A = this chain, B = another copy of it.
């Protein structure tokens, strides 16, 4: 099964319309995000998937047979049989910090090709970027305490693996998702469920059975019946482990007032001489709740975060879009834009680049320019990843991407990382882009809407 049909029908109908009209000009599209789900910045992820797709983009016989049943022109389907992506792509590397309106990926190709790849690009980039951004905020809220991702059971079905990958890019320490451990090399972690405890006649029997099986990595879930009573039993088992020369690694709290309970459990364990035992807390956590717990002095060492982290709740989708910005007709670049009464839905015309200006080593301002303009003293962020249809970019390892993220976040001033009320990061337009935009708005108002 190829991924060629992982697209919206209208991409294929538009492709046939272009083909039918004998019209296949070189076109440039920008992938950008209109607004962040929360906070000031976006942490980009998903480029690896898109490049894999570009590399393998083919229509299989079964794809073409299906399209024939849907009334597509047989000659057009013959054209698709030999379809290859032949264009050029620039992109911010995976793990970049981006801001609204900045092109994150720029695709230049014959319009029939550039149009097809839109849906796949949006489907993969929007989701991975959403979750990587969410994870980086969650990790920030934990102020150096570890965040472990526990979301597999609440992940949106088959999205589970890329969800975990994105949380790792965003800084999570580990995952409960064993497949992500095997397939992606992400550290895995886990303890026990309430069912393990309730399956035994007495809670302490379940603790002893687990400690006996995993004396060197024993975490006990203590809230099945009552957290504080559970902690007392965990302390007994902790002392029993000491007598065998082992140490209880941790206890997990999964319900109730996690902050208050963590203090009681911490004291109870400390009083029992078990100050080395770590506290794991889980249960409907998110960046805001973690932040509140930390501000209230919670004695939590590891936060287990599930649902919100892997679905992006309360914002489960980014409104990233892919918009035409330039078409070449008879060798001449014709910039394109979409106007809208909704300001955010108006797009930026022309082939563009993105520049970042640092001050004292910290991100200070970005500028979106037209190609050909140079912003002095700034770093250009879009790098060539595909040239003439060939992927020329060496996809980094997952640890490599994480390193890039850490480097980038260390240069983002702290005010832009705040969970609430973080300021808008300054993104300006170059003189060339500003002038073009103004000219285009006037032209469209005149020609298409009949305003003067």
Interface residues of A (CB under 8 A from B): 1, 5-14, 16-17, 20-21, 23, 25, 27, 29, 46, 49, 62-63, 66-67, 70-71, 111, 115, 118-119, 122-124, 126-128, 150, 152-163, 176-179, 181-183, 188-196, 198-199, 201-203, 209-210, 212-214, 217, 224-226, 229, 255-256, 307, 311-319, 323-324, 327, 329, 334, 336-342, 345, 444, 447-450
Contact = CB atoms under 8 A, between A and B. Distances in A.
B450 A154 contact: no
A181 B10 contact: no
Given A177-B8, A337-B198, A345-B255, A317 B327 contact: no
Contacts of A1: 183
A13 B256 contact: no
Residue from A152, A226, A317, A341 having most chain B Cβ neighbours under 10 A: A317
Contacts of A340: 255-256
A14 B192 CA distance: 6
Copies of this chain assembled into the complex: 2
B123 A153 contact: yes
Which 9 A-B pairs rank lowest in CB-CB distance, beginning with the nearest?
A9-B190, A10-B190, A316-B316, A122-B153, A225-B448, A195-B324, A159-B159, A158-B158, A156-B159
Contacts of A158: 157-159, 161-162
Given A7-B178, A176-B8, A229 B198 contact: no
Contacts of A177: 6, 8-9
A202 B70 contact: no
A212 B321 CA distance: 28
Residue from A1, A198, A210, A315 having most chain B Cβ neighbours under 10 A: A198
Contacts of A6: 152, 160, 177-179
B157 A17 contact: no
B160 A193 contact: no
